[in-house]
Structure 1
């Protein structure tokens, strides 16, 4: 008769091998999963929502729903172009601009940060009926800084009256500066109060966030409707 302790030893050995195998499988699967924006944290304007943050907010849990094509066609084309633009909604930045933004970002590429990050965000430059956030003449831009980079300054622009983002690509000449802030100490949430006059209908709010930890600049398009 085989001693009872010997059976226990075999059982324990099998369990150890199984545990080791499962650990290896989990490690392999983790290597295959692409990093999301929440894993490699940076930040974005969350109100009025930047284009890719808004797409993630509305469709992140349902991004394969074919109804998006009719209900939210601009987000649909963005999800089809590169899903990582939405999963990494907080990674739309350029390094080393040295404050000379118009030199590094051509007209028509403002919403993608000059096709930054290997073109991941190119779909955000697409012209069309992006979903808007209703705002009044005085409103607040809310920027979420997941990594607490801080800000040397934040610039907030709005498109001039008469510009139509549903039919025209965004250029530097279409923008008028609303405010330039001072420094923000590292935190996770910044608010910028802005005032406008004489604006109505659809516009683009363009936010440039110069982070403090290095020469890293975020270029963020938010579509709004002035009531």
Structure 2
């Protein structure tokens, strides 16, 4: 092979090898955001959203909104860490488990024993987790140890060391992930902590659900100012971080506030005020919204009258839903590839010109 051609081929290979990783990086940089929260038992953030971010009813939710602001509760389905990759305990400080260390949700970490709580009993239980953007992943549920005091900031050591329920890629029903687990025997007020770790991304989501086994045992003394973060207490009950109802630390026959999960209508009504896209993948473009069942594969052997092209398009859509892509992702990838191709062509042309000049110089000598 002539020297001139060998040089051109070598330069082309170098350019291709250097640009290929850039193309992959550009594609991988597309938004990849899942959303969701526990609805059975109801998480703190979902319960306060259902009460109404502008005018919550319970003293605990009033305090949480006063600390975090209403926007955090319109964004009820985004308590996450984008790059968790399973490193939950090292990334989330003690006292900040319910907010996942995110200051935006600091109101969820308020240490108080009057959070609205769901009745719970030992034995088999069906759990539900609202998935407003479905993705593959695994769920782990932990319950607090005997002696848990909700009037103190929640620490990792307050949780039982092993999850009592686990599920990988559970099925969805009416927009909820549904899976079963066996709840251990407990008594009084406790907390169930959930971790949803995506398998197609390092992103993970976290929830705190307050529960009561039997009768509420109070769980400590007056919460004072909670964790000491957020808005300072005011003179009006229920508007600061520790005002409002004072837990007595003694068993009480007073009915406990029972949380409600947000209805589909409430979710739809509040989506316009949310800063995170519902039913989509984080790009705030309603045109890219996915369907709640987009991540569910078509059952093997199912009959369909659709054409092979339509089936391929459906499969592509399914893969995008699982990985956090959206309908804009192929366009972005194509545009990026085109830009890289133009750059490669320019490098190749420059290399050919340099080679030609070098060859001309040698022939002139």
TM-score (structure 1 length as normaliser): 0.72
Could you say if the C-alpha distance between residues 131 and 93 of structure 1 is closer, same or farther in structure 2, counting changes exceeding 3 Å? same
1:127 aligned to which of 85, 94, 111: 111
2:82 aligned to which of 95, 99, 104: 95
How far off its partner does 1:184 sit? 3.6
| Matched length | 176
CA contact (8 A) 2:64 2:108 kept: yes
In structure 1, distance between residues paired with 2:63 and 2:176: 30
Larger-Rg structure? 2
The answer for the alignment partner of 1:220 in structure 2 is 207
1:195 aligned to which of 167, 172, 182: 182
Could you say if the C-alpha distance between residues 112 and 201 of structure 1 is closer, same or farther in structure 2, counting changes exceeding 3 Å? same
The answer for the alignment partner of 1:144 in structure 2 is 130
Deviations 1:15-60 (A, max 9, x none): xxxxxxxxxxxxxxxxxxxxxxxxx971111111110100111235
The answer for the alignment partner of 1:45 in structure 2 is 38
Could you say if the C-alpha distance between residues 103 and 185 of structure 1 is closer, same or farther in structure 2, counting changes exceeding 3 Å? same
Could you list the runs of 5+ residues in structure 1 that have no partner in the other structure? 1-39
The answer for the alignment partner of 1:178 in structure 2 is 164
Could you say if the C-alpha distance between residues 185 and 135 of structure 1 is closer, same or farther in structure 2, counting changes exceeding 3 Å? closer
In structure 1, distance between residues paired with 2:60 and 2:90: 27
CA contact (8 A) 1:150 1:185 kept: no
The answer for the alignment partner of 2:152 in structure 1 is 168
How far off its partner does 1:77 sit? 1.2
Could you say if the C-alpha distance between residues 198 and 185 of structure 1 is closer, same or farther in structure 2, counting changes exceeding 3 Å? closer
The structure with more strand, counted as a fraction of residues: 1
2:192 aligned to which of 205, 212, 216: 205
In structure 1, distance between residues paired with 2:126 and 2:133: 21
Could you list the runs of 5+ residues in structure 2 that have no partner in the other structure? 1-32, 215-365
CA contact (8 A) 1:50 1:222 kept: yes
The answer for the alignment partner of 1:21 in structure 2 is none
The answer for the alignment partner of 1:13 in structure 2 is none
CA contact (8 A) 2:85 2:204 kept: no
Structure 1 runs (4+) deviating above 4 angstroms are none
The answer for the alignment partner of 2:360 in structure 1 is none
CA contact (8 A) 2:82 2:203 kept: yes
In structure 2, distance between residues paired with 1:57 and 1:127: 21
- Alpha-carbon RMSD across the aligned residues, in angstroms, is 2.0
